[in-house]
Amino acid sequence: MKETEKKLLEMKNTSELMLDLAYSALLYYNHDIAEEVVELEDRIDYLYEDIQKASLNKFKETGNFDRALIFMKVADAIERIADAALDIADVVLRDIEIHPVLRQSLKESDTIMLKKPVHKGSLLDGKSLGQVNLASETGMWVVAIKRGNEWIYGPDENTVLMGGDIIFTRGPEDSIDTMNKWTSP
């Protein structure tokens, strides 16, 4: 079940990121970020199905119905959260105008989510998050990194950024210009 537990943790991390991205896409009417939510939902669906199959197979082997049921219920709950994030992003993708009161309440949030590519030769290229002290210097925390088709959730100070990475950061809106400087060559 260790592999299933890892997949369940990946589902949880992915759904949390999806919610952050979906709200940011809605707040800034950003189609690019909304598309990331769609891509992540595909990953969630794959993991969800895989966990269900693994849980049923484990039940067949061990007869431990309770454990299999717990994994399946938790995976189902996470999948529904991911679906809700997709519904939020869908508002942006279908160009549905949101009510001004809702838009204003979203803007009152003091934290934004930012998607930035790390360009080769930038201040971040080839350096660990600890080396550049990104959070202290820019006010933005890296919550996830997309490296090709792989995702790194909750990177720490030892995580090295590379040109071509796409980083997802959370922080104050007034940090956008600083992040642009740090990620550009």
List, run by run, the mean pLDDT of 10-residue segments along the chain (185 residues).
88 93 84 93 96 91 88 96 96 86 68 88 94 89 92 92 94 87 90
Residue 108, pLDDT score: 64
- Domains of the chain: total: 2
**Angle subtended by helix axes 65-93 and 2-28, to nearest 10:** 20
Q: What is the pLDDT of residue 185?
A: 87
pLDDT of residue 172: 87
Tell me which residue range forms the domain holding 19.
Answer: 2-102
**pTM of the complete model:** 0.77
Q: Are 160 and 20 in contact (CB under 8 A)?
A: no
User: Residue 32: CB partners within 8 Å, gap ≥ 6?
Assistant: 115
Task: Report helix, strand or coil for 184.
Answer: coil
- Domain of 155, CATH number, reads 3.30.70.1450
Residue 90 sits in a domain whose CATH number is: 1.20.58.220
Q: What strands lie across the sheet with 150-153, from one edge to the other?
A: 112-117, 166-171, 141-147, 150-153
| Domain boundary pick from 54, 86, 102 | 102
Nearest to 182 by CA among 146, 143, 149, 139: 139
Question: Do 131 and 64 lie in a common domain?
Answer: no
